[in-house]
């Protein structure tokens, strides 16, 4: 197999966004040698559903237990120990070429504007300083960085860092070229998170400033607000990570908590063993996590999964890492939160059609929480 030589413009972009040539060459060689095999993605070990008590519930609103969690979260916020990571990367393709963070979600407000309004309100109510870190990609970095600078506040400082970049391949392991004849680049998944936090210096700066806990959520899920109760539940559990899960609905396909050789962790749908009935697991991963900053300040041996995409009417292969796999390495707490209603925390809008379906409920949630 001959080495791929990139043109100077592509080479400069790859260098600027942390392209890992060694890993790329290794994965390319595997693809050329073995093709795509299910065992490359399937999880190893015995997989069983969660056991009783594996998924915690929040106390009922109005109870002393709920108030205690709220107080614990408020104290952490007031002490300046909490930061927020907003995942705003991707390829800027689903909203008509507009970077999703800048797309209107409700009443003329963008996704990012609404997320920052929520965080600012919490910071003002608690008297704390809550830094916000926007994880962009090579495709969204310019727009997201500009939005972050325009919305920077003393109590809610905003900083942008970027995930990495890689190059698509054909199913045979050759370089995949786009319609313009150039190499087709992509952002290799939210699994970049902890690596990019460390490589950018963001995690060092957060910890040096007294930061201890990071709430991580997708920019398109504005219902995942900065809630002192949920934060308090994470702190009370004493685990390195908390994963928010919701009751599974018809059509949900994605990660869910399962035990792998006895260890509770997020397992993505495509990794479950053949024949495993995923309906035995009644909850679903929302991709909202709370992480202990010290616990994630190290490398993780995350897997690279091969994913087939249709680009310009042709099949392309790209390799991605998954953020949820961190739970295989970190003691993790799984917390069921409400999916719908005014207490709901899971209203993702992956494309304009899904946003149109959810907009009224999103507006009701944000008004109830004082964000709008």
pLDDT recorded at residue 96: 74
Evaluate if residue 282 carries a pLDDT over 70. Answer: yes
The structural architecture, per CATH, of the domain 46-166+187-305+320-368 is: Alpha-Beta Complex (3.90)
d(CA 343, CA 71): 18
pLDDT digits (tens, 9 = 90+) for 270-281: 999 999 999 999
Task: Please tell me which residue, 37 or 350, carries the higher pLDDT value.
Answer: 350
Full-model pTM: 0.95
Whether residue 304 contacts residue 319, with contact meaning beta carbons closer than 8 Å, is answered with yes
pLDDT recorded at residue 232: 98
Give the residue-averaged pLDDT of 134-150: 93
Evaluate if residue 251 carries a pLDDT over 80. Answer: no
Evaluate if residue 150 carries a pLDDT over 90. Answer: no
pLDDT recorded at residue 39: 80
**∠195-199-204 over CA atoms, to 5°?**
100
pLDDT recorded at residue 207: 98
Whether residue 150 contacts residue 102, with contact meaning beta carbons closer than 8 Å, is answered with no
Confidence tier at 172 by pLDDT (50, 70, 90): very high
pLDDT recorded at residue 355: 94
Interacting residues of 353 by C-beta distance below 8 A, sequence separation 6+: none
Evaluate if residue 327 carries a pLDDT over 60. Answer: yes
pLDDT digits (tens, 9 = 90+) for 88-99: 988 777 787 789
**Tokens 């050329």 found at:** 32
pLDDT digits (tens, 9 = 90+) for 295-326: 999 999 999 999 999 998 999 999 999 999 99
Evaluate if residue 36 carries a pLDDT over 90. Answer: no
Evaluate if residue 268 carries a pLDDT over 70. Answer: yes
pLDDT recorded at residue 2: 60
Written as six digits, the tokens of 282 are 């009644």
d(CA 226, CA 217): 10
Query: Left if phi > 0, otherwise alpha if psi is -120 to 50, otherwise beta: which for 134?
Result: beta
Confidence tier at 335 by pLDDT (50, 70, 90): very high
Least confident of 48-62, 81-95, 261-275: 81-95
pLDDT recorded at residue 253: 77
Least confident of 17-21, 26-30, 153-157, 194-198: 153-157
The interaxial angle of helices 111-126 and 64-78, nearest 10 deg, is 100
Give the residue-averaged pLDDT of 144-165: 91
Give the residue-averaged pLDDT of 161-186: 95
Least confident of 37-41, 105-109, 296-300, 338-342: 37-41
Give the residue-averaged pLDDT of 13-41: 92
Confidence tier at 261 by pLDDT (50, 70, 90): very high
Confidence tier at 333 by pLDDT (50, 70, 90): very high
Q: What is the mean pLDDT of the chain?
A: 94
d(CA 145, CA 162): 10
pLDDT recorded at residue 40: 84
Q: What percent of the chain has pLDDT over 70?
A: 99
Evaluate if residue 366 carries a pLDDT over 70. Answer: yes
d(CA 50, CA 264): 7
Q: Which neighbouring-strand residues pair with 283?
A: 247
Confidence tier at 230 by pLDDT (50, 70, 90): very high
d(CA 7, CA 183): 9
The domains of the chain are located at: 46-166+187-305+320-368
**Tokens 């999964």 found at:** 305
HEC profile of the chain: CCCCCCCHHHHHHHHHCCCCHHHHHHHHHHHHHHCCCHHHHCCCCCEECCCCCCEEECCCCCCHHHHHHHHHHHHHHHCCCEEEEEECCCCCCCCCCCCHHHCEEECCEEHHHHHHHHHHHHHHHHCCCCCEEEEECCCCHHHHHHHHHHCCCCCCCEEEEECCCEECECCCCCECECCCCCECEECCCHHHHHHHHHHCCHHHHHHHCCCCEEEEEECCCCCCCCCHHHHHHHHHHCCCEEEEEEECCCCCCCCEEEEECCEEEEECHHHCCCCCCHHHCCEEEEEEEEEECCCCCCCCCCCCEEEEEEECCEEEEEEECCHHHHHHCCCEEEEECCCCCCCCCCCCCCCHHHHHHHHHHHHHHHHHCCCC
């Amino acid at each position: 197999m001959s080495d791929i030589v990139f043109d100077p413009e592509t080479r400069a972009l790859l260098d600027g966004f942390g392209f890992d040539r060694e890993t790329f060459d290794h994965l390319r060689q595997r693809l050329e040698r073995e093709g795509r095999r299910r065992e490359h993605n399937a999880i190893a070990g015995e997989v069983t559903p969660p056991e009783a008590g594996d998924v915690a519930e929040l106390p009922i609103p109005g109870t002393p237990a709920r108030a205690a969690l709220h107080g614990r979260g408020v104290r952490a916020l007031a002490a300046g120990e909490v930061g927020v990571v907003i995942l705003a990367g991707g390829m800027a393709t689903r909203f008509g070429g507009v970077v999703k963070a800048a797309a209107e979600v409700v009443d003329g407000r963008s996704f990012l504007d609404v997320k920052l309004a929520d965080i600012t309100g919490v910071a003002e109510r608690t008297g704390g300083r809550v830094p916000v870190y926007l994880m962009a990609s090579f495709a969204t970095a310019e727009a997201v960085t500009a939005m972050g600078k325009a919305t920077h506040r003393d109590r809610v400082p905003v900083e942008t860092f970027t995930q990495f970049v890689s190059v698509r391949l054909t199913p045979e392991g050759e370089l995949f070229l786009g319609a313009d004849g150039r190499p087709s680049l992509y952002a290799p998944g939210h699994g970049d998170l902890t690596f990019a936090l460390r490589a950018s210096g963001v995690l060092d700066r957060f910890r040096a400033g007294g930061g201890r806990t990071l709430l991580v959520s997708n920019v398109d899920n504005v219902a995942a607000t900065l809630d002192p109760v949920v934060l308090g539940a994470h702190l009370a559990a004493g685990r390195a990570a908390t994963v928010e899960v919701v009751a599974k609905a018809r059509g949900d396909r994605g990660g869910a908590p399962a035990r792998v050789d006895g260890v509770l962790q997020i397992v993505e749908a495509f990794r479950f063993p053949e024949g495993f009935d995923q309906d035995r697991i009644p909850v679903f991963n929302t991709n909202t996590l709370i992480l202990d900053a010290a616990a994630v300040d190290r490398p993780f041996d995350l897997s690279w999964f091969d994913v087939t995409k249709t680009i310009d009417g042709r099949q392309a292969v790209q390799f991605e890492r998954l953020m949820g796999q961190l739970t295989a390495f970190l003691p993790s707490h799984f917390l069921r939160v409400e999916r719908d209603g005014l207490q709901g925390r899971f209203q993702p809008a992956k494309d304009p059609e899904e946003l149109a379906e959810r907009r009224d409920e999103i507006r009701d949630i944000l008004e109830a929480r004082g964000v709008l």
